Chain A
Amino acid sequence: MTDTTNNSEIQRMSLESALDVLARRRDDQVVVGTMTANGVWRDKSPHDLNLACIGFMGGASTLALGVALSQPERDVWVIDGDGSLMMQLGSLGTIAGAGPSNFLHIVIHNGVYETSGSQPLPSQQQVDFAKMAEGAGYAQTASFGDAEEFDAALDELLAADGPTLIQLFTRPGGRFFSARPTPPGITPALARMWPPVAEALR
């Protein structure tokens, strides 16, 4: 497990290698992704139970919480971003308070707002979401900056009751996205995406 005492000198893995570790454990979990992780995750683990959140300003984790509370027998993973979580830090208390044992909260910590051009987060290297989650009352937390260490520890973390938050230190990948204009009358992506997931969960 990564020592986060001094985040400015912390080891970082690639986003691809981090998500490879998760994808190898993918079975029938609902996986809610947000921002830069969405595209990478879709390639690593294409699945009917993937949901992508864009423009929620930090809402992915609480949407995943709702799914987890409604489907207690099924594991729900959220692949969150550090910038996204910073916008909704109170959600850590909300999730811990609800206490779903089937909830895994992955936080991709790259220290930047990557989609908008990799501007730094307000606290950039220093913020430690694992410590925040521990303080909020998550059942377990962990941090990794090395994919092999993450791989070695993940099965034990998945076997224990959640809510669990795993902070993954990754290198910014320069994945800058510029939104394309949306033609009038188009059904928004979210409205197209969730009904099939809901149907699959019936």
Chain B
Amino acid sequence: MKEPRLGVFICHCGGNISDVVDVEKVRQAVEGAPGVKVAQTHMFTCSEAAQQEMIRLIREHDLNGLVIASCSPRLHQETFRQMARRAGLNPYRYVQVNIREQCSWAHPHHPGEATRKAVALVKGGIARALRARSLEPIVIKTRPEAMVIGAGIAGLEAALGLSRMGIKVHLVEKEDRPGGLLRDRGPIFPTDQKGRELVEHLWREIHRDANIRTYFRSHLCGKEGVVGDFRLKICRDGEEKEIRAGAIVVATGARPHTPQPGEWGYGSEGVCTLYEFLLHLAEHPEEKPLFYRGRRVRRLVYVYCVGSREPAGEKARTYCSRYCCTAALYTACLVHSRWPEVTQVHLYRDIRSYGKYEKYYRRALGYGSVFVRYSPQSPPEIHPGGRLRVRVRDLLTAKQEIELEADLVCLVTGLEPVHSPELLEHLKLPVGKEGFFQEVHPKLRPVETMADGVFICGCAQGPRTAEESAASGLAAAAKVGALLLAGEVKREPLVAEVIEERCDGCGECVAACPYGALELSGDRVRVRESLCKGEGACVPVCPQEALQVRGYEHETIKALIDSLAEGLADA
């Protein structure tokens, strides 16, 4: 092995570190240590000027290892890896030591101790850098094919978006028709287009598209392989079929909440959910006067937030479904315009007709809808009978009790997640506390999941309007496009490796790996690198110490521990 030549750089972080940790003392403690050729401090190591200086030093001293003591690797590991690459140094010969979060921020009142700890950590980092190896990312060729699960508005839009980019699409739907929640619907906001027609329009395009194959009455029943090249199984009528795809878009949707019989008067004649009422309106758009299941409707009462925003508790739906206020207001406008003789009363908690949807609230007010605000402590009581009687306390007249009669009470319910254990098992998708699939970050990475190559969109990740579902479907398509059209995926090479001469093929590790990345071949274990996530579950179970994760080799970890201990003893 070449003689080690390390550069050690310690960051002030503009005072974030140096106000507590004596960085000069840390520098002196490591200067001249075996293998250390350069030791410097910088006000901001991440600044372009400091990076240029470090690049110059790496080249000038022909450094073959690098330690930077600064912030968390979460923040700048990638910054400095790229810097190393620019200097012609293999990025995996760079080690980041965190003396901000772990020293100056954690121990602001003990500067002496914080400095001691920083010295020990930097020495540990040096021990790692001395043993670092040059590594190259694992490259996986991608297939320009994707699977979209769910043929609702989000799935249909995603499929079309992918096809337009030249990606072959396998569209899998559990029912025998496309359309999801919009299939049998009349006009929807904000376009006033009929849901049914929108679905038909999209479906015609998909049908014409040679790039998209659709599988009805089918569901996912197996997943193998890696991002860029999955081997997926779908089941249809008990028959299995294998499909290969580079990425998966989950657009499995949600379902409208239906109250239990008796809750909010549900189950009695004249009480329905908004979704049921909308389906009825779609079926009888021109009927005059307005009837609902044989009842003449002169007065229509909406109750908002049914089964939503419940007080915390087990299985409570504490969340707001965000689309239902607007949906109810839009329905009221529809009824006002077709059946102006119908009086409509809205019992609400808070109106959330956000953004431009405010126009439906104003329009409903203008049409003469009456709004009564109730408090969750005294929800409306609905008494069944020939004419329904509704009692509620109106917050806008100092909680006076109001009684009104109604022909139809429409419960405005939200959306709830559809639980699909199979999908969870095969895709290992994280689920949020509300039961919907969870994205990595709602604003910054809104359709990506923790599972590589699996994207989510539409109501599967939370309640939303049709407009928002379509937009997120297209967003998922764009992300899949960016992944697959690049031709290859690069992954961290910090994966498990087998020390051949120690392995006796006992197979203990094969069972320990949650990703199925290990397999026995002959009397040795083999790592399928593209499957391995480098999490190291296999390392401690191996009785022969024959498995290690690159970058965290047995020797490296032992040396790290020794030097941490020494560092503390010295300082």
Q: Specify whether A and B are partners.
A: no
A positions within 8 Å CB-CB of B? none
B positions within 8 Å CB-CB of A? none
